[in-house]
Amino acid sequence: MKYVIFLGDGMADYPIPELNGKTPLMAAKKPGMDWIAREGRTGLFRTIDAEMMTGSAIANLSVLGYNAAELFHGTEGRGVLEAASLGIPLEQSDMAMRVNLICIDEGKIRSHSAGHISTEEARTLIRDAQGFFKDWNLRLFPGLSYRHVLVIPRGEFRLECFPPHDYVGAHWKELAIRPSTADGKETADLLNRLVLESQAFLEHHPVNEKRRKEGKQAANSLWPWAPGKKPVMKTLQQRFGISGAAITAVDLIKGLAIYAGMKTIAVDGATGLYDTNYEGKADAALKALEDVDFVYIHVEAPDEAGHEKNLPLKIRCIEDLDRRLIQRVLEGLEKRGWESTVAVLPDHPTPIANGNHTREPVPVAIRHPHMHGDAVSCFDEESVKSGALGLLEGSQFIETFFKSSR
C-alpha cells in the first residue's frame, strides 16, 4: 500500500461576498480534490486547539498526529523545527526561534516577508547582522527568503510573541515580546533590544539601499517569534511501521519531517510561492514512492496568497495545486498499478478577509481503496460537513489515514 497526503497550506477560507458567498475552494476548479472526496470519506478536522497559537507548526504536527502542546509545552515551536531543517545542532538548554526579515514603514509592519526578499539578499543581511551582534548571547542562521533562525543558549522559551504575518498594519512598538513567567524577562529584554538595534543596522545596509532604488521594500527589521526547545518525538516508523518522505519548500515542514523520521526531498524550482514547481513535486513524490510507503506533499502557495489578501491568486493557487500536482500524482499512481490511500486537506484556514491564520476546523477527504465512500461529491468547507468522518480531533486523522496499514 502506498500513502499520499496532499496538504494545501492555508487553503480553507470564509464565504466571500465577491464570490456570492462561496469560498475559494468552492469557486476553484479542482477535479482531483473532488474525486478524492467523491470516492472517499470526508469530514472536518480540528488541527489547532483553543489554547494553542494559530500556527502552521502546530497544525502540521496535528495532521501527522503529534500533540504540539506536549512537545512544545504550549508554545508553537516553529523555530526548533526550522533549525532541524537547516542542520543547526541544538543543545537541550538552547532556545530556538524563527526570525523574519520584515519591512517596517512609518512605524508599522508593512510586510512579514519584506516583499518576499530573495534568498541571496537575505543571506547577506543575516550574515552581516550576525557580525553586528557577535558579542551578544545569540546566534543567527540564514534560511530561505525571509525565513531564518535565531538560537539563544539557555534562553527562556515561555514568551508571548507576535507572528508578523498576523499583524501587518500594526505598529511594531505595540508588539514587544513579553515574558510569560518571571524567568523570561531577561530573554524578552534581549529580544526586544535585538529588534530595535537591528532596525538601526539594517535601515541603510547596501542591500536595502539597492532594493529601494529598484522600488522594492526594505528588509529593515529582524522579527523573532515562535520560541521553543528541542522536542523528543517518536517516528512514523515507530508509531505506524511506515517509512515516509516529505516534499516541501518550507523549512518548518522539513524540520518536522526530520523529527518524524522522514526523508526530505529537495525539488528544483520549489519556492513556497505561486510560482513553485508543482510538476516537479508530483514527479518527485512518485519517484519517492518507489522506496518509501508514504509521501507528505506540502504546498505553501495558497497560504501566502491568503496573507496577501489576494483572492484571484488564492483561487489560482488552489487550481494549480489540483491540476498540476494532485491530478498528476493520481494519474501516476494508477499508471503504476499501485494500491494507494490518498488524502487532501489544508492545515488551517488563512482567510482573505483578514490575511491571518485562524483555528476553525478544516475540510478533509480520505480515499481508501477498500473503504466505501460517503455521499459527498465536492471538496470544500461546507460540503464535507455531512461527511462520514464527522469532526476529527487529535490523532484521529492520521490514525484513520493509516488504518489499512494495521
Tell me the mean pLDDT in the region 324-350.
97
Give the whole-angstrom CA distance, residue 190 versus residue 207.
26
Residue 266 has pLDDT above 90, yes or no: yes
Gyration radius from the chain CA atoms: 21
Say what the pLDDT of residue 57 is. 85
pLDDT, tens only, 278-307: 999 999 999 999 999 999 999 999 999 999
pLDDT for 406 beyond 70: no
Residue 223 pLDDT > 70: yes
Tens of pLDDT, residues 36-58: 999 999 999 999 988 777 788 88
Provide the pLDDT for residue 8: 98
**Type of residue at 376:** V
List the Cα angle 213/129/226 in 5-degree steps: 105
pLDDT at residue number 383: 97
Tell me the average pLDDT across 50-72: 85
Q: Where are the alpha helices (DSSP H) in 321-369?
A: 327-336
Largest Cα–Cα distance in the chain? 63
pLDDT of residue 252: 87
**Weakest mean pLDDT among 5-9, 68-72, 113-117:** 68-72
Can you give the pTM of this predicted structure? 0.83
Pairing of strands 244-247, 294-299: parallel
User: Distance between CA atoms of 210 and 103, rounded to whole angstroms?
Assistant: 15
Output the CATH code of domain 2-70+233-405.
Answer: 3.40.720.10
Least confident of 109-113, 237-241, 271-275: 271-275
Give pLDDT tens digits for 6-20: 999 999 999 999 999
Distance set, CA 269 to CA 83, 84, 155, 250, 275 (Å): 22, 22, 36, 13, 8
Q: Summarize pLDDT for 189-209 with one digit per residue, the tens.
A: 999 999 999 999 999 999 999
Q: In the chain, where are the structural domains located?
A: 2-70+233-405, 85-228
The helix (H) or strand (E) run that includes residue 128 is: helix 119-132
Question: Per residue, what are the HEC states of 44-113?
Answer: EEECCCCCCCCCHHHHHHHHCCCCHHHHHCCCCCHHHHHHHHCCCCCCCCEEEEEEEEEEEECCEEEECC
Looking at every residue in the chain, the average pLDDT score rounds to 94
Can you say how many angstroms the Cα of residue 287 is from the centroid of all Cα atoms in its chain? 24
Amino acid 74: pLDDT:
58
